[in-house]
Amino acid sequence: MSKSNEPERFPVVVIGAGQAGLSVGYYLAQQGIPFVILDANARVGDSWRNRWDSLRLFTPARYDGLAGMPFPAPKNSFPTRSEMADYLEAYAKKFNLPVRMGVRVDRVSRRARGRTFLVETNHGVIEAEQVIVAMANYQKGRVPAFAAQIDSHVVQMHSIDYRRPSQLREGPVLLVGAGNSAAEIGIELVKRGHRTIISGPNVGEVPNDTASFFGLNIMGPLLTRVIFHRLLTTDTRLGRKARGGGKPHTAPLIRTKSKHLAAAGVERAGRTTGVRNGMPVLEDGQVLDVANVIWCTGFEPGFSWIDLPVFAETGFPLHTRGVSTEEGLYFVGLAFLYAMSSSMVHGVGRDAEYVVKAVAERLRAAKPLSSRTSERSERVSGSTLRTA
Ligand SMILES: Cc1cc2nc3c(=O)[nH]c(=O)nc-3n(C[C@H](O)[C@H](O)[C@H](O)COP(=O)(O)OP(=O)(O)OC[C@H]3O[C@@H](n4cnc5c(N)ncnc54)[C@H](O)[C@@H]3O)c2cc1C
């Protein structure tokens, strides 16, 4: 970054180089807008590489490609987390997107008396006319406060830190939270010989086998393309009802269903409500003598580094289709940003394109910072891109 005291300048800074940030980059490049993408991770795709080893996407490859580059696998296969990570890395390379990895953004604020933003990072400061926060609201694991009272001999972690069974002690495992992460990890652990208990209310389930002929050819396309992408949007009454206040709900079980859990021998229990004598207690007062606890209790957006008055009481940003209430600041990738599909691979591109149009309009309307941007600014070859 800039070696002088003056910050480096870009018309647009994108934070996050996952599927959301790369999609934004694709459309910014198409518009010929100079920008840079910053990401704290070491490699593009690391948010997938850092998930558990056995993870496979629940969406088949035909829905796992971003604009301009289909996912390179048979359309009805379910990619592994590493294949998805490598695909994202190849995507950034193919479109020559100006990504800077290992750059963690510690603060985004307004420049004093200015209309621009200051983006403070572990590698210096960048001044930006517009900032796009491009990431899912799955950045930090949420754990109840009473977790701190659990006996220190019990191995505990959030699902965000779970990689493989060898991280656990021998003995029973309690998975708190009954959503998709708990179901998938639970099946893995019961097969490794752990007594496995999933605690929490039933979250419902998608009514078909995702890998069956019906699932792949009828129910999958209906859910993915029609219901999640077209029907449940903030433009429809049904969509607004499903979205609620904007705080994400637990998704229903998609691949691993209750019948699979029962058949594998995973036990079900009510909510975990506290701790007694160092062990978790269920809502019916039962104390569970377990050796391991995995918190599958959801996520926080982790946006404490955004020092701008753009958050509702829920902690989620105030925006319309990603255009925030703070002029020049945008979000892409959040759950139900515009549609049920917004945080999914196949849905993020439409939101990215919409936000980039808003960015381009604002740049056209304003005196461009690009005219003050040094010739060293990274430019990308937008003219080579095709529309998806
Ligand atoms: C377990 C799991 C399974 C999923 N499976 C599927 C699936 O099968 N199909 C599907 O369509 N969707 C799936 N999703 C949903 C979604 O596709 C993923 O969460 C996806 O990773 C979201 O991509 P993203 O780019 O929006 O955010 P992320 O992948 O979270 O990427 C955000 C990036 O921003 C960076 N970042 C964050 N904060 C900062 C900062 N302060 N400074 C710099 N960089 C920062 C991070 O390093 C990261 O690289 C799944 C989600 C989870 C949690």
Q: What is the pLDDT of residues 90-115, one digit of tens each?
A: 999 999 999 999 999 999 999 987 78
* pLDDT single digits (tens) 24-57: 999 999 999 999 999 999 999 999 999 999 999 9
Domains 8-139+301-387 and 142-295 share a fold: yes
Looking at residue 368, what is its pLDDT? 53
Q: Is 315 left (phi over 0), alpha (psi -120 to 50) or beta?
A: left
Tell me the pTM.
0.92
Atom of ligand 1 nearest to the CA of 333: 26
Burial class (CB in 10 A: 0-12, 13-18, 19+), 232: buried
Fold of 8-139+301-387: FAD/NAD(P)-binding domain (3.50.50)
Hey, which of 344, 348, 351 would you mutate to test ligand 1's pocket, going by the most ligand atoms within 8 Å of its Cβ? 344
Ligand 1 center to 126 CA (angstroms): 24
Per 3-state DSSP, what percentage of the chain is helix, strand, and coil (rounded to 5)?
Answer: 30, 25, 45
Cβ proximity of 224 and 59 under 8 Å: yes
Burial class (CB in 10 A: 0-12, 13-18, 19+), 1: middle
Cβ proximity of 140 and 164 under 8 Å: no
Looking at residue 270, what is its pLDDT? 97
List the beta bridge partners of residue 293.
156, 174
- Taking 80 as the threshold, does the pLDDT of residue 387 lie above it? no
Atom of ligand 1 nearest to the CA of 341: 11
Cα separation, 53 vs 134, in Å, equals 25
Domain chopping of the chain, boundaries: 8-139+301-387, 142-295
- Taking 80 as the threshold, does the pLDDT of residue 334 lie above it? yes
Cα separation, 39 vs 17, in Å, equals 6
Cβ proximity of 72 and 96 under 8 Å: no
Atom 32 of ligand 1, residue of closest alpha carbon: 135
Atom 14 of ligand 1, residue of closest alpha carbon: 344
Ligand 1 center to 277 CA (angstroms): 37
Q: Is 339 left (phi over 0), alpha (psi -120 to 50) or beta?
A: beta
Ligand 1 center to 64 CA (angstroms): 13
Looking at residue 285, what is its pLDDT? 97
The CATH number, out of the four listed (3.40.50.300, 3.60.60.10, 3.30.360.10, 3.50.50.60), of the domain defined by the range 142-295: 3.50.50.60
DSSP-based three-state secondary structure for 268: strand
Instruction: Return the DSSP state at 285.
Output: S
Instruction: Return the DSSP state at 233.
Output: B
Cβ proximity of 131 and 108 under 8 Å: yes
Cα separation, 236 vs 328, in Å, equals 26
